[in-house]
Structure 1
């Protein structure tokens, strides 16, 4: 008798290890601050703000999240500095085990713009599927499914425009997940763009990854390549580095200052424009991020 299969990753997390290694924790577009706290009544608050180094524009938002774990209910409300109100209501494992439903809405009163999306997620052993209906855009129905067995993964996504009565977008992916490494190949944009990613945990202190993208509309001859690594210095600090075939080198450093306090620094250097007189842009960028989590 075969063993129960673990729940595979969702479509958006297909190839997540490589994407996180190459994209997350690089802060070089300005200064940002994030403050998190939670009350005794199980309400979590988050305040975040960013100052863009190029435009000097400051963007921020304040978010409150209330959870009733006993009944699988979560309510999230957020208000941004651009005067956009966001609300999300989630219900998980109540109608059926493994089923999560949510309604996400947004409203910009000044512009009169509004969105409403109904989402559903259902996951079981070896199976993970999602579906969403955008009520005001299209309306558009989007669905994706990932199947997994013995580490092998296969997934597909499609978007259907209800008004026009046709499929507006489709994609597919295959991959393999192992305890120490993972690989994934995607066919995106109606199979016009292809990506291949690889991730490996070399040992307890070193991770490495790479990603290749083939896009006929790319300015780099249609092919983009990026490789990176992450090295843990100790339990509270690590360094990340990556380089792409456009000659841009990026560095990231994260340091835990004390429990709940973290400082992150980033630097991006365009090696083809080392003589740029402006050291912080547009060719070269530097940034910092602070996180306070009580």
Structure 2
């Protein structure tokens, strides 16, 4: 089995702490459908804050299995045209993609991404073709549950290293540990465990840059009451508590609701409520 990409070394704990908490968006709707010929359509809309603007995006994805070519085209209500062209299996494990973004008369961007996956290592390179240009690359190695990786950012025009990061992880089946640091002096230590088939727990500690005496800690749990629902809780040392509930109403229809509040000061006006409704067919 190939090791994860650098950004996925802490995938388990990052998913537990960051995924399926719905308070960050006031309301969201996702609709995903697949035509008989395999063409995929997606409509995503969300309102980040109450009485705020609605952000919406329509996306179409077409794949040709014979050539490994995939075209994804999106168009948002901000008149942003997003295009992704993917080409897989140029050689076993090699994948490339061109990602562009265009807002006519306002902005444009283009990136070339290349990834290579083998049983004992993975490597990626991302070239920003218009900004800089610049390059970000990472390499991950794995052996008997131990995963190590490094990432660098390079300014091609300036000929200088713009950023770097290193990470180390260990997985033993039902639990995993992670350690990472970067040139911003941000260090994180994480722990994740599958306590049982219906319960997950995890925690992450992050040092504050230039203040080694201050560490931010988050703890989260995920509980599956049955095959169609889940309950998540997240607690930060700042006193912010987040709760989330997700329920599959029927096949292809999922409802999510969430809330967050400051447990140390319930009178403080930082409480948030949010919801999400997803359809797939």
Output the TM-score relative to the length of structure 2: 0.97
Q: Give the match for residue 155 of structure 2.
A: 161
User: What is the CA-CA distance between 1:179 and the residue it aligns to?
Assistant: 1.4
Provide the rounded CA distance (Å) in 2 between the counterparts of 1:60 and 1:130: 30
Runs of 4+ in 1 over 4 A off after TM superposition: none
1:122 touches 1:128 (CA, 8 Å); kept in 2? yes
Residue among 79, 87, 90 paired with 2:86: 90
Q: How many residues align?
A: 280
Residue among 2, 22, 29 paired with 1:27: 22
Write the mapping of 1:3-152 to structure 2, written as runs, cut at 5 A: 6-28=1-23, 29-54=25-50, 56-93=52-89, 95-111=90-106, 113-152=107-146
1:265 touches 1:287 (CA, 8 Å); kept in 2? yes
User: What is the CA-CA distance between 1:221 and the residue it aligns to?
Assistant: 6.2
* Partner-residue secondary structure (3-state), 1:272: coil
User: What is the CA-CA distance between 1:272 and the residue it aligns to?
Assistant: 2.8
Q: Could you report, residue by residue, the CA deviation over 1:57-92 in whole angstroms, capped at 9, with x for unpaired residues?
A: 211101110011222111000011111100000001
Provide the rounded CA distance (Å) in 1 between the counterparts of 2:129 and 2:187: 30
Measured on the aligned residues, the alpha-carbon RMSD in Å equals 1.4
User: What is the CA-CA distance between 1:26 and the residue it aligns to?
Assistant: 0.3
Provide the rounded CA distance (Å) in 2 between the counterparts of 1:75 and 1:253: 34
1:196 touches 1:211 (CA, 8 Å); kept in 2? yes
Q: Are 1:222 and 2:222 an aligned pair? A: no
Q: Could you report, residue by residue, the CA deviation over 1:141-165 in whole angstroms, capped at 9, with x for unpaired residues?
A: 1110000010101000001101100
1:273 touches 1:283 (CA, 8 Å); kept in 2? no
Provide the rounded CA distance (Å) in 1 between the counterparts of 2:186 and 2:47: 33
* Partner-residue secondary structure (3-state), 1:71: coil
* Partner-residue secondary structure (3-state), 2:166: strand
Gaps of 5+ in 2: none
Residue among 240, 254, 261 paired with 1:269: 261
User: What is the CA-CA distance between 1:217 and the residue it aligns to?
Assistant: 5.9
2:184 touches 2:209 (CA, 8 Å); kept in 1? no
1:254 touches 1:263 (CA, 8 Å); kept in 2? yes
